[in-house]
Amino acid sequence: MLAFRPGSENDHMPQSAPLKLRPAQIGADDDALWAMLQPVFRAGDTYAMDPDIDRDAALAWWQGGAHRAHVAHRGAELLGSYYICPNQQGGGAHVCNCGFVTAPAAQGQGVARAMVSDALREARAQGYLAMQFNCVVSTNTRAVALWQTNGFEIVGRLPEAFRHPQAGFIDAFVMYRKL
Amino acid sequence: MLAFRPGSENDHMPQSAPLKLRPAQIGADDDALWAMLQPVFRAGDTYAMDPDIDRDAALAWWQGGAHRAHVAHRGAELLGSYYICPNQQGGGAHVCNCGFVTAPAAQGQGVARAMVSDALREARAQGYLAMQFNCVVSTNTRAVALWQTNGFEIVGRLPEAFRHPQAGFIDAFVMYRKL
């Protein structure tokens, strides 16, 4: 799903190039980030986000304000991204929140798994003591399973808190783990 | 806790004037709102808010962005306030979030109870289908009891998600009710 630019190093990058993570570069990564975020937000079935959000607002939300975005890449090809931010202020500022997105073409390659590991490391490095997901759509079983494998527990169930474009009103989970 | 202004109608307002609710007036209500918010935010034991937040930022948060603030008053005297906003966007936008503050001098007069009733009415009027509190500090037993009396359930427990200035790391609750 990522456009190959003629003459870029992508052309010479074997699929087996190592998966790495680095902080997102605001501006330079914007095209690739939006290419990943757009289909996810437009689908509206995993993120509680306005499906019609425009590019500028989406990029500003993903990597602006208190959000710190990172990208997973092979060479110059971006395969995924996550952000990390405080989930609350003041007495709740030691708990972070994260969001993850994987490029459709990179599904099933362990990109999300690598990003979760990196996010947990990054969260600890930034001094957070816990990580919380506020609105995990209950039909997003792959995400729920991935969080659980990584030590997250479902600590809350929000009855019909998510309006799924196909499934209608469904429950959402609050998931949490200490770091 | 509200300053009486000489010559204002406050001087002639008996304590038994009826408690009423109305939308907050940005600007005109700012002094009274900040007088209510400042001690609550400074104390840092109920709201997950930077205790050092300044007046402009506090007022902008309480009644800015997607927040719609209302005030409880007797005559010209403001006794409490609440805001209402979507708790999430997109598929979660039918669930609202609210925050409440009561003036210290008005505790025990049913102000909070009246505001909760009004907030539930207002939420329904705005088309919301549920109301959620994301981080109810577990030691805030008065608030928890008030929400429970008004039909809210504890749907999640966040382990040590709140750093209380006196009690240290304590649990917080996610509370929820349909409308």
Give yes or no for A137 touching B (CB within 8 A): yes
Test A156 with B157 for CB contact under 8 angstroms: yes
DSSP string of A103-163?
A: -GGGTTSSHHHHHHHHHHHHHHHTT-SEEEEEEEETT-HHHHHHHHHTT-EEEEEEEEEEE
Query: In whole angstroms, how far apart are CA B167 and each of A50, A91, B140, B162?
Result: 39, 11, 12, 10
Give yes or no for B18 touching A (CB within 8 A): no
Which residues in A lie closer than 8 A to residue B57 (C-beta atoms)?
none
pTM for this model (two decimals): 0.90
Residue A12: how many other CB atoms lie within 10 Å: 10
A15 band by pLDDT with thresholds 50, 70 and 90: low
Test A162 with B91 for CB contact under 8 angstroms: yes
Q: Which two tokens stand for residue B106?
A: 């008005």
Strands, DSSP E only, in A4-103?
A: 19-23, 68-74, 77-86, 95-102
- Amino acid type, B55: R
Query: In whole angstroms, how far apart are CA A63 and each of A19, A43, A58, A68, B156?
Result: 21, 20, 9, 6, 28
CB distance B171 to B159 below 8 Å: yes
Q: What 3-state DSSP class applies to B80?
A: strand
| Surface of B (70-99) touching A: CB under 8 A | 88-95
Range in A129-143, B9-23, B100-114 the model is least confident about: B9-23
Give yes or no for B164 touching A (CB within 8 A): yes
Give yes or no for A158 touching B (CB within 8 A): yes
Which residues in B lie closer than 8 A to residue A89 (C-beta atoms)?
48-50, 53
- The mean per-residue pLDDT over the stretch B127-134 comes to 98
What DSSP character marks residue B25?
-
Q: Using CA atoms, how far apart are residues B162 and B170, in angstroms rounded to an integer?
A: 5
Of A91, A174, A176, the CB nearest to B164: A91
- The mean per-residue pLDDT over the stretch A93-101 comes to 98
Residue A114 has pLDDT above 90, yes or no: yes
% of chain A surpassing 90 pLDDT: 89
Residue B34 has pLDDT above 80, yes or no: yes
- Residue A117, by phi and psi: left (phi above 0), alpha (psi -120 to 50) or beta? alpha
Query: In whole angstroms, how far apart are CA A141 and each of A83, A147, B104?
Result: 21, 10, 46
Residue A48 has pLDDT above 60, yes or no: yes
The alpha carbon of residue B123 is apart from the nearest alpha carbon of chain A, in Å, by: 15
The ipTM value here is 0.89
B15 band by pLDDT with thresholds 50, 70 and 90: low
For residue B103, report the phi and psi dihedrals to the nearest 5 degrees.
-60, 135
The alpha carbon of residue B65 is apart from the nearest alpha carbon of chain A, in Å, by: 14
The alpha carbon of residue B5 is apart from the nearest alpha carbon of chain A, in Å, by: 33
Place of tokens 């390659």: A109
CB distance B108 to B44 below 8 Å: no
- The mean per-residue pLDDT over the stretch B97-110 comes to 94
List, for residues A145-160, the tens digit of each pLDDT value: 999 999 999 999 999 9
Test B132 with A160 for CB contact under 8 angstroms: no
% of chain B surpassing 90 pLDDT: 89
